[in-house]
Amino acid sequence: MSKIKVIIADDHVLFREGTRNLIEQEPDMEVIGEASDGEEAVKLVTQLSPHVALIDIAMPKVNGIEATKQVKASCPATAILILTAYDDDQYVFTLLEAGAAGYLLKNVSGKELANAIRAVHDGEAVLHPSIAQKVFSRIANLKPATEVVPQPSDLSKREMEILRLAATGMNNQDIADKLYLSRRTVQSHLANIFRKMNVGSRTEATIQAFGRGWLTSDDIT
């Protein structure tokens, strides 16, 4: 079984060591690199192409927000999971717009962290559905598309339907149940959506869809 490759970016050595130990207890994951600042994190992602990058906000040289932007520009397939002590709403919105797939606080348990890593690797947003809908509603209302960009000709009707449901905060199983599909089929459709849109998560795909005018606030109400 192929393992989920993870890098950890945090300026506290003890926290990195503890997080690494937790992750490496999971049989389906491996930590392939550690970074002590944002600049090093960007270099590691570019060199190693991990599936998931755990990134803190407050780091030397390049902060987590800028590091997230640079990582998504150089390696869009890498899913970024923010792991931080800051719970300010503005950080959440800014980081999701920058391309983060999820946002967790450092007081989560090891099990919650492992499940979150699996979730973002599968293309899910690591946000409670009500929070996700609030975030996407805010983005849809504050950032109306000034010009509608044509949808890719190869983005199917089914894929747009799944993208629209993902924007409401539904997880993969919820979407599967609503459309009478298997969870694996939904994951496959999402993987195709991400590939066609050149993104690494449903959060990023949804935000991009709002920004291009493919989705509007009416789609999530």
CATH of domain 146-220: 1.10.10.10
Quickly state the pLDDT bin for 89 (edges 50, 70, 90): confident
Residues carrying CATH 1.10.10.10, the chain: 146-220
State residue 145's pLDDT score: 52
Task: Quickly tell me which residue has 């993208």 as its tokens.
Answer: 163
pLDDT greater at residue 73 or residue 207: 73
**Encoded tokens for 35:** 């970074």
Distance of CA 48 to the CA centre of its chain: 18
Quickly state the pLDDT bin for 178 (edges 50, 70, 90): very high
Q: Which fold has domain 4-121?
A: Rossmann fold (3.40.50)
Residues carrying CATH 3.40.50.2300, the chain: 4-121
pTM of the predicted structure, to 2 decimals: 0.75
213 backbone dihedrals φ, ψ, rounded to 5°: 85, 10
